[in-house]
A and B are shown apart, each in its own frame.
Chain A
Amino acid sequence: KQEVTQIPAALSVPEGENLVLNCSFTDSAIYNLQWFRQDPGKGLTSLLLIQSSQREQTSGRLNASLDKSSGRSTLYIAASQPGDSATYLCAVKGYGGSQGNLIFGKGTKLSVKP
């Protein structure tokens, strides 16, 4: 059974720092991996989607990498800002099982202090 783990569970950094969030998964047979952002009391917003054939995706100050063979992904945030404060969720979509069955990690709660 696929399991997704995110480390650390919480992270507090001063504004301007570069930071890395980690995601690991137990079964490397995946279609893709997504990073989402969740603000308190709000829904999820997709940040980056990496297909299994890709190594990385970039959007603005965000860069996500995928190493399928080792079951790892990282989300790199450059020059962090207080507006980046949110919970970041990693999710993988595997083969078989329920269609659309994204398996989520528990998230990393990021706090960027001014």
Chain B
Amino acid sequence: NAGVTQTPKFQVLKTGQSMTLQCAQDMNHNSMYWYRQDPGMGLRLIYYSASEGTTDKGEVPNGYNVSRLNKREFSLRLESAAPSQTSVYFCASSEMGLAQETQYFGPGTRLLVL
């Protein structure tokens, strides 16, 4: 099993450009999450999907949209990238989205917005 995979690994954008970060998991998990990690800030939740067909905002959703394409895939879209969105983005998944579960993380996408 590959676990949680993310593409691309690294991306450079110009301000105003759009892009979609892809995430897929092969563990048959119901819940998926998008986090961003900034220096000196720790990881913060952007959006999550409790199950296929549902999405909800996390702590820092502004400037992002998400799509739960199917049970395996959860994408994060930046419609008009801003320098403040320069960050490392992590996708994670958990089996049922229950409070007591562990989340499994992907390797991250490093995004630089110029």
Residues of A that sit less than 8 Å from B by CB: 4, 31-32, 34, 36, 41-46, 49, 51, 89, 91, 93, 98-107
Chain A contact residues: helix, strand, loop or mixed: strand
Across the interface, do B105 and A102 meet the contact criterion of CB distance under 8 Å?
Answer: no
Chain B residues whose C-beta falls within 8 Å of the C-beta of A44 in the assembled complex: 43, 90, 92, 105
Say yes or no for B70: interface residue by CB 8 A criterion. no
Indicate which residue in A49, A100, A107 contacts B42 across the interface (CB closer than 8 Å). A107
Count of inter-chain pairs, beta carbons less than 8 A: 67
CA distance A98 to B97 in the complex (A): 11
* Size of the chain B interface, CB-CB below 8 angstroms: 28
Knowing A32-B100, A98-B59, A99-B97, the reply to whether A43 touches B45 (Cβ < 8 A) is no
Is B33 close to A, CB under 8 A? yes
- Let me know if A100 and B94 touch, CB within 8 A: yes
Write out the residue numbers on chain B whose beta carbons fall within 8 Å of the beta carbon of A103: 42
Would A101 and B59 be within 8 Å (CB), given that A106-B41, A107-B42 are in contact?
yes
Q: Which positions 30-73 of chain B face chain A at CB distance < 8 Å?
A: 31, 33, 40-45, 48, 50, 56-59
**Bound CA–CA A41/B58 (angstroms):** 24
> Is the CB–CB distance between A106 and B90 below 8 Å?
no
CB B76 to nearest CB in A, in angstroms, measures: 15
- Given the complex of chains A and B, what is the CA–CA distance between A36 and B55 in angstroms? 25
Q: Among A45, A100, A102, find the residue whose CB has the most chain B CB atoms closer than 10 A.
A: A100
B15 within 8 A of A: no
A98 near B90: Cβ-Cβ < 8 Å: no
List 9 A-B pairs, minimum CB-CB distance, nearest first.
Answer: A31-B99, A104-B42, A43-B105, A44-B105, A104-B43, A43-B107, A46-B102, A98-B58, A106-B42
